[in-house]
Amino acid sequence: MRFETAHHHTWRKTKSGLACTIAFVSAVLVISPLGLVFGYLLIKGAGSVNLDFFTKLPTPVGVPGGGMANAIVGSLILLALAGVIGIPVGVLGGVYLAEYGSARLSSALRFLADVLNGIPSITWGIVVYGLIVLRFKGFSAYAGGFALALIMIPLILRTTEEVILLVPNGYREASLALGVSRWKTIVHIVLKTASKGIITGILLALARVGGETAPLLFTAFGNRFWNHNLSQPIAALPIQIFTYAISPYDDWHRQAWAGALVLVTGVFCVNVLVRVLTRQRGASVA
14 makes contact with another protein (CB under 8 A): no
Instruction: Give the span between the Cα atoms of 83 and 156, in whole angstroms.
Output: 10
Q: Alpha-carbon dihedral of residues 143, 144, 149, 154, nearest 10 degrees? A: 100
Q: How far is the CB of 100 from another protein (least distance, A)?
A: 12
Instruction: Give the span between the Cα atoms of 220 and 185, in whole angstroms.
Output: 40
278 makes contact with another protein (CB under 8 A): no
Among 181, 229, 271, 278, binds another protein (CB under 8 A): 181
Among 104, 179, 248, 250, binds another protein (CB under 8 A): 179
Q: How far is the CB of 188 from another protein (least distance, A)?
A: 6
Instruction: Give the span between the Cα atoms of 286 and 275, in whole angstroms.
Output: 11
Q: How far is the CB of 179 from another protein (least distance, A)?
A: 3
Among 193, 213, 240, 255, binds another protein (CB under 8 A): 193
Instruction: Give the span between the Cα atoms of 208 and 202, in whole angstroms.
Output: 10
21 makes contact with another protein (CB under 8 A): no
Q: How far is CA 124 from CA 118, 144, 161, 212, in A?
A: 11, 10, 23, 11
Among 51, 63, 178, 276, binds another protein (CB under 8 A): 178
107 makes contact with another protein (CB under 8 A): no
Among 22, 31, 174, 269, binds another protein (CB under 8 A): 174
Stretch of residues binding another protein (CB under 8 A), selected from 2-10, 55-63, 118-126, 180-188: 180-188
CA 281 to chain centre: 21
Nearest to 110 by CA among 153, 149, 154, 151: 154
189 makes contact with another protein (CB under 8 A): yes
Going by C-beta distance under 8 Å and a sequence separation of 6 or more, which residues neighbour residue 59? 65, 66
173 makes contact with another protein (CB under 8 A): yes
Element (H, E) at 139: none
Nearer CB in complex with another protein: 167/258: 167
Sites of contact with another protein (CB under 8 A): 168, 170-181, 184-185, 188-189, 192-193, 195, 282-284
